[in-house]
């Protein structure tokens, strides 16, 4: 999986000469993580998020199966403290080999 497959799809693809929009940190940061359906997928995602946001509360997550049940979407909001934190989170999610997309 390439780094491009996990780019933040809420933002348009960068164009030559564009300055990316800035986020004011810290902030509440909504994320949707899509992966293969499995009983432990949401728990795995939450364990990873807690390593990057120790105050993350898993009570607020939403787990939505795809129409055919092949994929799960885990929707959550974490406290983002900076780009370094988010890049590390995305990298660890990608390293599981189970995450297909982070939006």
**Token representation of residue 30:** 């909504």
Which single residue is written with the structure tokens 């983002």? 80
| pLDDT tens figures, 35-92 | 999 999 999 999 999 999 999 999 999 999 999 999 999 999 999 999 999 999 999 9
Residue 83 lies in a domain: yes
> Could you tell me if residue 20 is inside a domain?
no
Is the pTM value of this prediction over 0.85? Answer: no
- Res 10: pLDDT: 65
Cβ atoms of 100 and 36 closer than 8 Å: yes
49 in Cβ contact with 61 (< 8 Å): no
Question: Cα separation of 17 and 40, whole Å?
Answer: 42
Instruction: Report the number of distinct structural domains present in the chain.
Output: 1
| Residue 5 in domain | no
In terms of residues, how long is the chain? Answer: 103
**Is pLDDT of 16 > 80?**
no
Domain that holds residue 30: 25-102
- The pLDDT value given to residue 67: 96
Assess if residue 37 is contained within a domain. Answer: yes
Asked whether residue 95 is domain-assigned, the answer is yes
Residue-level pLDDT at 8? 64
- CATH classification of the domain holding 70: 3.30.70.260
Element (H, E) at 72: strand 71-80
Residue 46 makes CB contacts below 8 A (sequence gap 6+) with 56, 58, 61, 74, 76
Q: In this structure, is residue 91 part of a structural domain?
A: yes
């Amino acid at each position: 999986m390439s780094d491009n497959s996990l780019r933040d799809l809420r933002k348009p693809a960068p164009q030559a000469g564009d300055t990316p929009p800035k986020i004011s940190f810290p902030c509440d940061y909504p994320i949707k993580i899509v992966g293969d359906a499995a009983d432990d997928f949401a728990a795995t995602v939450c364990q990873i998020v807690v390593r990057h946001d120790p105050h993350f509360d898993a009570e607020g997550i939403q787990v939505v199966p795809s129409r055919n049940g092949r994929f799960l979407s885990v929707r959550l909001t974490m406290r983002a403290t900076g780009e370094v934190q988010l890049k590390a989170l995305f990298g660890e999610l990608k390293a599981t080999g189970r995450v297909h997309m982070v939006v």
